[in-house]
Amino acid sequence: MPVADLDRPPWIEYLGPAECWKLLSLHPVGRVGVIVDSVPEIYPVNHVVDRQSVVFRTDAGNKLRGLALTPAVCFEADGINLDDCTGWSVLVKGRAVEVTAPEERSQVAALPLRSWASDAKPHWVRIVAREITGRRIHRHGG
């Protein structure tokens, strides 16, 4: 991108729910915000979109314990272009529920979730969305 374009003011496009879900479905890494011992913590997770919810796997530990005690969560994913200072961000607010019913566990196990760290994480979590918002920062055109 020419240097002159970086001098142009950016503009923000607010994204509708369909575009937000599409972006989330195309990017396998996001971050889940969880309250652990009354303090917010943010964890990166591999995820998959399933029927307007976000599904991920986790091990036992602080994240899962925090989700069980305070299921209200936020989930965020984004994409950035460092060369032209543009990008997008999607935020999901909702409730996290551990998937324990055998039929639903079979359904989520069939989803195309690819874990970068380990496939051995035994706990499946679904974030049931209450709200989804997104925005994209542009530098030129529009």
Query: How far is CA 53 from each of CA 28, 78, 79, 129, rounded to the nearest angstrom?
Result: 14, 17, 19, 6
CATH superfamily of 21-138: Electron Transport, Fmn-binding Protein; Chain A (2.30.110.10)
Task: Say how far apart CA 131 and CA 61 lie, in whole Å.
Answer: 27
Tokens of 63: 């994240």
pLDDT tens, residue by residue, 55-112: 999 999 999 999 999 999 999 999 999 988 899 999 999 999 999 999 999 999 999 9
Instruction: Give CA angle at 21 (84, 83), nearest 5°.
Output: 10
How many residues would you count in the chain? 142
Closest residue by Cα to residue 9 from 94, 106, 85, 101: 85
